[in-house]
Homo-oligomer: A and B are copies of this chain.
Amino acid sequence: MKTLKIGVCGVGNVGGAVLENLANSPDIVEENGGVRIEIIQVGARKGKSVVPYDLDVVTDLMEVARNPKIDVLVELIGGCDLAKDLIEEAIKNGKHIVTANKALIATHGDELFELAKENKVQIGFEASVAGGTPVIKALREGLVANKVNWFAGILNGTTNFILSKMSENQSSFKDALKEAQDLGLAEADPTMDIDGTDAAQKASILSALAFNTLYDFNSVSYEGIENVSPEDIVYAEQLEYSVKHIAYGSIVDGEVNVSAFPTFVPKGQLLSQVGQQMNALEIFCEEIGSTVYYGPGAGPKPTASAVIADLVDLSNGGWPVSDKKRNKNNFAKEDNQNFGRYFNLNVINQAGAIAKLSSVFADSQISIEALIQKETKTNNKENIYVPVVIISGPLTEIEAIQLKNNLELMEETSDSVKQFRIYNAI
The answer to whether B325 touches A320 (Cβ under 8 A) is no
Given A134-B142, A323-B34, is A295 in contact with B305 using a C-beta cutoff of 8 Å? no
Q: Which A321-371 residues sit within 8 Å CB-CB of chain B?
A: 321-326
Query: Chain B residues with Cβ under 8 A from A305's Cβ?
Result: 143, 145-146, 285, 287-288
> Residue of B at shortest CB range from A35?
B320
- Known pairs A31-B324, A134-B138. 4 more at Cβ < 8 A? A1-B322, A134-B142, A137-B141, A138-B293
Cα A410 to Cα B278 in complex, Å, equals 47
Interface range, A side? 35 or more
A291:B324 contact, CB within 8 angstroms:
no
- Determine the distance from Cα of A309 to Cα of B145 in the docked complex, in whole angstroms: 6
Residue of B nearest to A321 (CB): B34
Copies per assembly: 2
The answer on a CB contact under 8 Å between B304 and A295 is: no
Contact partner, A30, options B25, B146, B270, B322, Cβ 8 Å: B322
A317 to B304 alpha-carbon distance, docked (Å): 24
Give, as a whole number of angstroms, the nearest-CB distance from A141 to chain B. 6
* Contact among B133, B273, B301 for A287, CB-based, below 8 A: B301
A33, CB-defined interface residue at 8 Å: yes
Cβ contact within 8 Å between A141 and B309: yes
Contact, CB under 8 Å: B294 / A289: no
Q: List A263-310 residues whose CB lies under 8 Å from chain B.
A: 268, 270, 273-274, 285, 287-296, 299, 301-302, 304-306, 308-309
**How distant is A99 from chain B, measured CB to nearest CB, in Å?**
16
Q: Of A133, A142, A296, A321, which is in contact with the most chain B CB atoms at under 10 Å from its CB?
A: A142
Contact B141 A312 (CB under 8 A): yes
Bound together, the chains give a CA A318 to CA B34 distance in angstroms of 12
Nearest opposing residue in chain B for A148, CB measure? B32
> Which 4 A-B pairs give the minimum distances between C-beta atoms?
A317-B317, A134-B142, A291-B295, A34-B322
Cα distance, A409 to B285, chains bound together (Å): 55
- Partner pick for A288 among B132, B317, B322, CB 8 A cutoff: B132
Answer yes or no: A147 CB below 8 A from chain B CBs. yes
Closest to A294 in B: B292
A316 at the interface (CB under 8 A from B): yes
- CB pair A1–B288 under 8 Å, yes or no, is no
Chain B residues with CB below 8 A from A108, complex form: none
Neighbour of A33 across the interface among B33, B320, B326, CB < 8 A: B320
A153 to chain B, nearest CB (A): 13
Q: Are A137 and B137 in contact (CB under 8 A)?
A: yes
Contact yes or no, B21 A132, CB < 8 A: no
Confirm or deny: A399 has a beta carbon within 8 angstroms of a beta carbon on chain B.
no
User: Considering the chains assembled together, what is the distance between the CA atoms of A289 and B138 in angstroms?
Assistant: 19
Across-interface contacts of A323 in B (CB, < 8 A): 1, 34
Please name all residues of chain B whose beta carbon is closer than 8 Å to the beta carbon of A145 when the two chains form the complex: 21, 28-29, 32-33, 304-305, 308-309, 312
Closest to A20 in B: B287
Min CB distance A164 to B, Å, is 12
Q: Are B287 and A295 in contact (CB under 8 A)?
A: no
For the complex formed, measure the closest distance between the CB of A185 and the CB atoms of chain B, giving whole angstroms. Answer: 14
Cα A305 to Cα B286 with chains together (Å): 11
In the complex, A416 Cα to B32 Cα: how many Å? 46
30 pairs of residues in contact across A and B, judged by CB atoms under 8 Å: A21-B287, A29-B144, A30-B322, A32-B140, A32-B144, A33-B144, A33-B145, A34-B321, A134-B138, A134-B142, A137-B138, A138-B138, A141-B309, A142-B306, A142-B309, A143-B305, A143-B309, A145-B309, A146-B305, A270-B273, A270-B274, A270-B294, A273-B273, A287-B305, A291-B293, A291-B294, A291-B295, A292-B294, A292-B295, A316-B317
- In the complex, which residues 34-64 of chain A have their Cβ closer than 8 Å to any Cβ of chain B? 34-35
Q: Does A231 interact with chain B (Cβ within 8 Å)?
A: no
Smallest Cβ-Cβ distance to A136: which chain B residue? B142
User: In the complex, are the beta carbons of A320 and B309 less than 8 A apart?
Assistant: no
Q: How far is the CA of A293 from the CA of B31 in the complex (A)?
A: 23
Nearest to A126 among chain B residues (CB) is: B142
